[in-house]
Amino acid sequence: MLKRNESLYNLIQESEFIHFFEFVRYISFLVENEPTRNVGRPREKMRDIIVCLLIWHKFPMLSARRARGLLLLFKKIKLINVDIPCFKTLCNYREEPLVQNILGKLIEESFKPLKEIEHDFATDSTGIRTNLFSSWFSLRMKKRIRKRDHLTIHVTTGVKSNITTAVDVCIERGKDNMIMRSHVDKTAKHFRINEWSGDGTYWSKENCRKIIEEGGKPYFKPKKHWSGNSRGCMAWKKMNLEFQKNIDEFNKHYHKRSNVESTFGSKKKLHGTKVYSKSASARINEETLRWINHNQAVLNRAYYEWNIIPRFLE
């Protein structure tokens, strides 16, 4: 194991919040110049709302009222220059489904600076706790509810930097492979794909075919029941044969997916392990805002470690 460069690590950690507010100013410029007709509000108002939501979700476990108090403090010391709405308005906008369109574009803007160094990707899913115990059957039968509701978060990351290139926040489980292929499409628009890895959940012919079409090579862990046939997808057969005949070499590529676990750990430690919203759309927006902030932290590291200068730091 390589010894950590302590001076570099300290510099990255100490500069995170300074660069975060530079990132927020850049994002506010993007939102102000982004058409917001579908949201039904003026651009300036949407800019202020998005800035407030990003700052709110940089700090986990803040209630809406306390978050507004923190925003007022930042405005008083001239760290930000936006109109801060009441806490109820902030909650209403966080619940607005159309805001997801803007957040999706901000995710895209936050990973673009690393398109020259990321060529290997991995996909996985994780669970995020909520504060709800919603089970009508359990309530009707007067059963004691022991398990919280969870969100399922599907994430694709670059294995070198842990930058997130695609996020899907799902209220219900399922459609893992369809979501994964949509992540390939989103990632291929901006990155050159060499390898793509994932666990046995994503072991399917369609996934292999999609990655091959985008110029990459799939590494999904095969299951034991494979019969040895290609079944119309030669990439599928080659991947499974490589696993059987040269498992050590296969695992060197397959275990790049472990970087997704590092991404989940980093994001949860910095931005919390659960969401507090009650409605489905608010949960999705809340979690997406945290992933945008995760990407900003990755860009801060890239600035010092690989000398990559994002636009907001130029």
The per-residue pLDDT for 248 is 92
| 19-76 tens-digit pLDDT | 999 999 888 888 877 655 545 567 788 889 999 999 999 998 889 999 999 999 999 9
Average pLDDT, integer, range 9-24: 92
The per-residue pLDDT for 40 is 53
The per-residue pLDDT for 310 is 87
Residues in the chain: 314
CA nearest to 193, candidates 176, 179, 210: 210
CATH number for the domain whose boundaries are 118-259: 3.30.420
CA–CA distance, 243 with 203 (Å, rounded to integer): 12
What kind and span of H or E run contains 155? strand 150-158
Q: How far is CA 65 from the centre of its chain?
A: 26
The per-residue pLDDT for 219 is 93
Question: Residue 162: which residues within 8 A CB-CB, separation 6 or more?
Answer: 259, 262, 263, 266, 298
- For residue 59 the two structure tokens come to 């700090």
Average pLDDT, integer, range 229-253: 84
Mean pLDDT is lowest, of 27-31, 104-108, 161-165, 253-257, for 27-31
| 278-312 tens-digit pLDDT | 888 999 999 999 999 999 999 999 999 999 988 88
CB atoms within 10 A of CB 90: 20
The per-residue pLDDT for 111 is 94
The per-residue pLDDT for 186 is 94
Give φ, ψ of 265 to 5 degrees: -60, -45
How many percent of the chain have pLDDT more than 70?
88
* Contact in structure between 298 and 161 (CB atoms under 8 Å): yes
* Contact in structure between 196 and 121 (CB atoms under 8 Å): yes
Task: Supply the pTM of this predicted model.
Answer: 0.89
**Every domain range in the chain assigned CATH 3.30.420:** 118-259
- 247-272 core/surface letters (b: 16 or more CB in 10 A; e: else): eeebeebbebbebbeebbeebbeebb
* Contact in structure between 166 and 186 (CB atoms under 8 Å): yes
The per-residue pLDDT for 2 is 67
| 106-162 tens-digit pLDDT | 999 999 999 999 999 999 999 888 876 555 545 555 655 555 677 899 999 999 999
Q: Is 10 exposed, middle or buried (0-12, 13-18, 19+ CB in 10 A)?
A: exposed
DSSP state of 59: S
Average pLDDT, integer, range 200-205: 88
